[in-house]
Chains A and B, each alone.
Chain A
Amino acid sequence: MTHDPAPPDPLLAVRDLRKLFPARPTARRSRFQGAVRAVDGISFDLRPGGTLGIVGESGSGKTTTGRLVARLEQPTSGSIRFAGTEIGALSRKEMRPLRRQIQMVFQDPYGSLNPRQTVGTALATPLRAHALVPAGGVGRRVREVLELVGLDPRHVDRYPADLSGGQRQRVAVARALAVEPRLVVADEPVSALDVSVQAQVVNLLQDLRRELGVAFLLISHDLAVVRHFCDDVAVMYLGRIVETADRDSLYTRPLHPYTQALMSAVPDVRRGTSGERLHRIRLPGEPPSPVSPPSGCRFRTRCWRAQEVCAQVDPPLLEITPTHRVACHFAGEFGAVPADREGAPGQPG
């Protein structure tokens, strides 16, 4: 962290985090013989009020990462420090006082809102559970947060079915923010919405972040949405962070071959109309199984730059600039120096 200009106390500091799911839960012997290595040694920081986007395709481990941070899952190993407290190993009971400070927004507001509860009840329940406002003030606070997310306070008596998709997602955002969290983990919060409405919710999240100083961990497959919302971005592939950088560096100078391939594949209106089709990088084959990831670099089986060393040595995240790290043996070509141990993901055991 010596080069890092970030404040010394990140809100969230994740180190060497792992989550293994038993591939065959009934297997009697070693639980992790044949485990799905969903998240396999990742490290990152998030400063108070910051926004980090975690980008990846299916099976990359991005959703599991979000669920670990929100402690909806128990890490297999590694450390999650939130506001100076180690939360990775806390029990449910020990976690309770911290729940208020880490809230989650899911992709599907149909699934995350109870269809038989009015909007008012959905918002009042967490306020009561955390005893945040005196009983008499709950109604007023509910109307406040509805206004905060751009909904008419008269919506308190409506049911989720009476609302449009965009309005429902605003309710989900309101419910997360009602308890004044310090961190919101948002997993694909706009992916289910129509484009015209999606933009409304992205802007709303931006405004709320500025007004309230809440930090966001945004999990998404959508590189364009992440680009519009996040200061920093981490790209995941098969349980690992392969590249992490500030937004501008990542989008103007992606260095990891996987990031480059991912960006070249995004369909783009601008590219389509100008006719200048960016050279698209085709990845051969399919992502390997997370049960038995390739030796060395996990991307090597699909990488056009792969050499012998890639099969033998797992590349650590190397620092290219103080804000840009890449896990690729050939990142050295860009003048990398090895990152300090703390920031680098560990070798598989």
Chain B
Amino acid sequence: MTSAADAALAVRDLTVRFPTDAGDVRAVTGLSFTVRPGQTLGVVGESGSGKTAAATALLGLHDPRRARVTGSVLVAGTEVVGAREPVLRRLRGRSVAMVFQDPTSALHPFYPVGRQVAEAYRAHHAVSRADAAERAVAMLDRVGIPAARSRAGDHPHQLSGGMRQRVVIAMALVNGPAVVVADEPTTALDVTVQADVLDLLREVQQETGTALVHVTHDLGVVAETADRLLVMYAGRAVEAGPARDLLARPRMPYTWGLLQSTPDLGAREERLRPVPGSPPSLLTPPDGCPFHPRCAFAETVPGGRCGTDLPDLVPVSGETGRLRRCHLPEDVPLGEGQVGP
């Protein structure tokens, strides 16, 4: 892993808890990772894995009255956790920007899209309205909006979902942030549009050297776009490593199960192999490994450790950049991953 110094984003021991009458919802626990400039980290998880709570914390967007955030999030060297609102305001948009799942709610319905991109620019740059508007048109053009100059005058409802998401991406990139956090940026889009938007994200990232954190439930989406993957389960990182390597040879039973249960266009098998049960409550997560109640291998680990001791996230021996959280001896084969060699 990269040292925090040359990373665009360095997260250490990030923990997010939501106090409720019934106790704390432990959305994220002890999450650490770094992303270099120009690199894409795919954060993969199902609902309740904590992936969105983690993404939200990267911009310091949690309401301090509702959430307790601890640990450290360094964006281009500036600490986000515990930062005061004026600091965060300077940071957001300029150093770290977010692309949300639903572009319709990310845009203001009353204002033309060009003006919204221009405002995002003016928030961090002392330029005239006219110059900001020019900059917005150039940005809209860059993200592939045809006839950008005239479309800049359109309101969000006049654009398709894919075009709206392009506008949101233009807003995120207009200040040239060091880090872009995209939370399910293509989930609400049609598949042909999704492919275009993924291509666009990759292109602008290569051009600008932005670090991208791509949060998604869809392994297929990050398989083709991410350099590294981090798999989350019940608020914790359970596996991490180079994307292709991790998907071809998962070393943690949850990742393996997720791959087994993902339907694809190429596999010959007619029947899917689901992970039994459902994800645990974050209010009362199980003791030991959070995945053990659903794990097909837990029984085989001597001493029933999976049910009592939380495994550490440790390097897989002999493999560069691979980490996993599992008691299972490394030499126990999980069976072929769906895409195994």
The residues of A with any CB-CB pair to B shorter than 8 Å are 57-58, 164-167, 194-200, 202-203, 206, 221-225, 227-228, 251, 261-275, 277, 280, 282-283, 286
Whether A203 pairs with B278 at a CB distance below 8 angstroms is no
Say yes or no for B279: interface residue by CB 8 A criterion.
yes
Cβ contacts under 8 Å, A280 to chain B: 195
Given the interface pairs A271-B224, A273-B244, the reply to whether A265 lies near B192 with Cβ below 8 Å is yes
State in angstroms the CA–CA spacing of A205 and B261 once bound together. Answer: 15
Say yes or no for B263: interface residue by CB 8 A criterion.
yes
Partner pick for B272 among A57, A203, A265, CB 8 A cutoff: A203
Flag B237-272 by CB within 8 Å of A: 1 or 0 each.
Answer: 000000110011000000001111111111100111
Whether B338 pairs with A197 at a CB distance below 8 angstroms is no
Q: What is the interface size of chain B, counting residues whose CB is below 8 A from a CB of the partner?
A: 49
Q: Which of B18-26, B214-222, B297-305 contacts A (4 or more CB under 8 A)?
A: B214-222
Cβ contacts under 8 Å, B262 to chain A: 195, 199, 224, 269
Q: Residue on B with the closest CB to A261?
A: B192
B101–chain A nearest beta-carbon distance, Å: 14
State in angstroms the CA–CA spacing of A225 and B274 once bound together. Answer: 13
Given the interface pairs A166-B278, A196-B46, A221-B191, the reply to whether A268 lies near B271 with Cβ below 8 Å is no
Given the interface pairs A57-B192, A194-B47, A273-B248, the reply to whether A267 lies near B274 with Cβ below 8 Å is no
Flag B188-215 by CB within 8 Å of A: 1 or 0 each.
Answer: 0011111110100000000000000000
Q: Residue on A with the closest CB to B338?
A: A269
State in angstroms the CA–CA spacing of A222 and B217 once bound together. Answer: 15
Say yes or no for B5: interface residue by CB 8 A criterion.
no
Q: Residue on A with the closest CB to B249?
A: A273
A165–chain B nearest beta-carbon distance, Å: 8
Whether A267 pairs with B265 at a CB distance below 8 angstroms is no
30 inter-chain pairs at a CB distance below 8 angstroms, sorted by A residue, are: A58-B161, A165-B278, A194-B279, A195-B218, A196-B257, A196-B278, A197-B46, A198-B263, A199-B262, A199-B274, A200-B274, A202-B272, A222-B263, A227-B265, A228-B270, A228-B271, A264-B195, A265-B194, A265-B195, A266-B191, A267-B221, A267-B223, A268-B223, A270-B264, A272-B220, A272-B223, A272-B244, A273-B223, A273-B339, A283-B192
State in angstroms the CA–CA spacing of A286 and B161 once bound together. Answer: 10
Whether B46 pairs with A269 at a CB distance below 8 angstroms is no
Say yes or no for B74: interface residue by CB 8 A criterion.
no
Partner pick for A286 among B160, B248, B266, B338, CB 8 A cutoff: B160
Known contacts A199-B273, A224-B262, A270-B264; 11 additional CB pairs below 8 A are: A57-B190, A57-B191, A194-B217, A196-B274, A199-B275, A200-B276, A202-B272, A267-B221, A268-B224, A270-B339, A275-B244
State in angstroms the CA–CA spacing of A29 and B176 once bound together. Answer: 53
State in angstroms the CA–CA spacing of A266 and B195 once bound together. Answer: 8
Say yes or no for B50: interface residue by CB 8 A criterion.
no
Main secondary structure of the interface of A (DSSP, over half): helix
Partner pick for A267 among B161, B195, B275, CB 8 A cutoff: B195
Whether B192 pairs with A274 at a CB distance below 8 angstroms is no
Q: Residue on A with the closest CB to B247?
A: A273
State in angstroms the CA–CA spacing of A269 and B263 once bound together. Answer: 10
Cβ contacts under 8 Å, A194 to chain B: 46-47, 217, 278-279
Whether A269 pairs with B219 at a CB distance below 8 angstroms is yes
Given the interface pairs A267-B223, A286-B160, the reply to whether A224 lies near B265 with Cβ below 8 Å is yes
Partner pick for B274 among A165, A197, A262, A274, CB 8 A cutoff: A197
Which 8 A-B pairs give the minimum distances between C-beta atoms? A272-B223, A199-B274, A267-B220, A199-B261, A196-B275, A224-B263, A194-B46, A199-B272
B44–chain A nearest beta-carbon distance, Å: 10
Given the interface pairs A195-B217, A196-B46, A273-B339, the reply to whether A268 lies near B191 with Cβ below 8 Å is no
State in angstroms the CA–CA spacing of A21 and B206 once bound together. Answer: 45
B291–chain A nearest beta-carbon distance, Å: 11
Whether A271 pairs with B223 at a CB distance below 8 angstroms is yes
Given the interface pairs A199-B261, A261-B192, A265-B194, the reply to whether A270 lies near B275 with Cβ below 8 Å is no
Whether A268 pairs with B263 at a CB distance below 8 angstroms is no
Whether B265 pairs with A269 at a CB distance below 8 angstroms is no
Whether A270 pairs with B162 at a CB distance below 8 angstroms is no
Whether A227 pairs with B244 at a CB distance below 8 angstroms is no
Given the interface pairs A199-B272, A200-B274, A224-B265, the reply to whether A269 lies near B247 with Cβ below 8 Å is yes
Of residues 5 to 27 in B, which have CB atoms within 8 Å of A's CB atoms? none
